[in-house]
């Protein structure tokens, strides 16, 4: 059901990134989700490991986004549970735990705010002062080559630029669990490779990094691949989605 990335490379080293103390795997135990009489996920049990990039692949509608949502604690499963560091991920209100950050496929940005403000509000929610949050936001935007767009309203940006703002917001909070849903879908080859490098840096500092993707190039450089089809894990070696072909 899983495979190790055959072409995975050593992650780039970033001396400015502080390591974190891992608290074990993100565990999904007997997870199922029924939506309107249809099983979006069926009886999944797996562990997502710190220190590696796991790609989650499969056809559209296979359950990738649903799995990320349950793993991150924003959707309650019909059966089973997700847990990390001895606590359930679902807290009862649909808000993720503070250890989790998402890069959403639909970006999840506030269109009337600037790129800087969209990143800074996530930092202020974690206790940073407005000044420190703005400074950190500018650093993260620069990390994704959009430091010059900090004052621009998000609604004025291209899809690829918004995707990188969403990445900057998630990376800025230095999460222990980073869940990215199609984070490279709007990017050209150069920016796609850069985002994957940054994901690998996050894994190298000890984070659990999971990337839902249709992109074979992303699968190729992942440390591990999971393949979903109709809500079930299938052997990656038997699937074009898992092989990167």
What's 46-103 look like in SS3?
EEECCCEEEEEECCCCCCHHHHHHHHCCCCCCCEEEEEECCEECCCCCCCCCCCEEEE
User: Is the predicted pLDDT of residue 59 greater than 90, yes or no?
Assistant: yes
- CA 185/CA 196 separation, integer angstroms: 12
User: Is the predicted pLDDT of residue 94 greater than 70, yes or no?
Assistant: yes
- CA 205/CA 196 separation, integer angstroms: 14
User: Is the predicted pLDDT of residue 212 greater than 60, yes or no?
Assistant: yes
pTM: predicted TM-score of the whole model, two decimal places: 0.89
* pLDDT value of residue 64: 97
pLDDT digits (tens, 9 = 90+) for 64-75: 999 999 999 999
């Amino acid at each position: 059901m899983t495979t190790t990335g055959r072409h995975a490379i050593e992650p780039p080293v970033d001396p400015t990134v502080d390591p974190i103390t891992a608290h074990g795997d993100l565990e999904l135990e007997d997870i199922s989700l029924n939506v309107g009489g249809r099983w979006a996920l069926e009886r999944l049990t797996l562990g997502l490991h710190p220190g590696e990039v796991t790609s989650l692949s499969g056809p559209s509608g296979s359950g990738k986004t649903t799995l990320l949502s349950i793993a991150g604690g924003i959707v309650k499963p019909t059966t089973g549970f997700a847990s990390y560091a001895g606590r359930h991920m679902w807290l009862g209100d649909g808000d993720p735990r503070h250890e989790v950050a998402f890069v959403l496929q639909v970006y999840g940005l506030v269109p009337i705010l600037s790129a800087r403000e969209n990143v800074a509000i996530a930092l202020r929610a974690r206790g940073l002062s407005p000044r420190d949050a703005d400074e950190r936001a500018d650093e993260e935007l620069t990390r994704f080559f959009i430091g010059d767009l900090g004052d621009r309203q998000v609604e004025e940006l291209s899809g690829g630029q918004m995707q990188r703002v969403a990445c900057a917001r998630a990376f800025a909070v230095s999460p222990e669990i980073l869940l990215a849903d199609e984070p490279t879908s709007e990017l050209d080859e150069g920016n796609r490779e850069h985002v994957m490098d940054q994901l690998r840096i996050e894994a190298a500092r000890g984070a659990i990094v999971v990337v839902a993707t249709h992109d074979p190039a992303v699968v190729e450089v992942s440390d591990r691949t999971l393949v979903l089809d109709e809500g079930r894990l299938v052997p990656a070696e038997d699937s074009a989605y898992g092989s990167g072909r």
